[in-house]
């Protein structure tokens, strides 16, 4: 048992998941910060320099509002989109105009340069909004925690998969979303559902 504890805590120390507190080891709760470091929120590869993003360009986020996935907006999606140089917009958080919620969602999707769809949980509202984005030929970055939640109809579009059991999933997801948002702007054909040919 002692050998197991020694190996376990050595591994946890190496991963920087344990801290000393009052002479006792305490396992850090990385779920509160989603394993996000300051470095992940600021650094981006050279793709950033080759993509033109105008001030005021927005990225509309289609995702469930309820926790736990709904809480990822502030800790994952907003920082990732800001890292890519765009303004993050989500219907319940950022749109304050008059009219029905659907009018506001339509306006947000229509105005966005690129969109992100969180497919985890197979939320029908997200799928509806994704359909609107595809009808408008908007580039969309797809994200899911598992393959089963990605509908067959959109599996040909690249999907970012994440694993919340990875202690560094937050860092990794922020970087991947930022990179894929910029890539979707640079190469929209890879992130757009193509119209069928006219007959």
34-55 tens-digit pLDDT: 545 555 545 555 455 566 777 7
Concatenated DSSP letters of 21-61: ETTEEEE--TTTTTT--HHHHH---THHHHS---TT-EEEE
143-198 tens-digit pLDDT: 999 999 999 988 888 899 999 999 999 999 999 999 999 999 998 877 787 666 66
pLDDT of residue 183: 93
Give the residue range(s) of CATH 3.40.50.10140 domains in the chain. Answer: 34-190
pLDDT of residue 32: 47
Q: Specify whether the CB–CB gap between 151 and 134 falls below 8 A.
A: no
56: number of Cβ within 10 Å: 9
Alpha helices, H only, the chain: 2-14, 38-42, 47-50, 72, 78-83, 91-94, 101-111, 124-135, 169-186
Distance between CA atoms of residues 77 and 50, nearest Å: 22
pLDDT of residue 3: 81
pLDDT of residue 56: 82
In angstroms, the Cα distances linking 94 to 45, 73, 108, 114, 165 are 28, 11, 9, 16, 30
For 34-190, CATH number out of 3.40.50.300, 3.40.50.620, 3.30.300.30, 3.40.50.10140 equals 3.40.50.10140
Share of the chain above pLDDT 90, in %: 51
89-110 tens-digit pLDDT: 998 765 555 667 888 889 899 9
Mean pLDDT of the region 18-42: 56
């Amino acid at each position: 048992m002692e050998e197991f504890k020694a190996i376990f805590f050595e591994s946890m120390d190496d991963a920087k998941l344990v801290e000393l507190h009052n002479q006792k080891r305490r396992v850090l709760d990385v779920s509160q910060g989603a394993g996000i470091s300051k470095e992940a929120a600021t650094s981006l590869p050279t793709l950033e320099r080759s993509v033109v993003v105008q001030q005021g360009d927005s990225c509309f986020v289609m995702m469930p509002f309820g926790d736990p996935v709904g809480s990822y907006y502030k800790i994952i999606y907003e920082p990732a989109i800001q890292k890519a140089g765009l303004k993050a917009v989500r219907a319940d958080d950022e749109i304050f105009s008059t009219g029905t919620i659907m009018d506001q969602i339509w306006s947000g999707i229509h105005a966005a340069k690129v969109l992100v769809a969180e497919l985890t949980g197979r939320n029908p509202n997200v799928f509806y909004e994704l359909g609107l984005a595809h009808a408008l030929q908007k580039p969309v970055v797809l994200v899911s925690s598992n393959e089963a939640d990605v509908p067959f109809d959109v599996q040909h579009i690249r999907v970012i998969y994440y694993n919340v059991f990875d202690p560094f999933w937050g860092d990794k997801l922020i970087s991947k979303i930022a990179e894929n948002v910029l890539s979707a702007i640079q190469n929209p054909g890879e992130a757009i559902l193509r119209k069928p040919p006219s007959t």
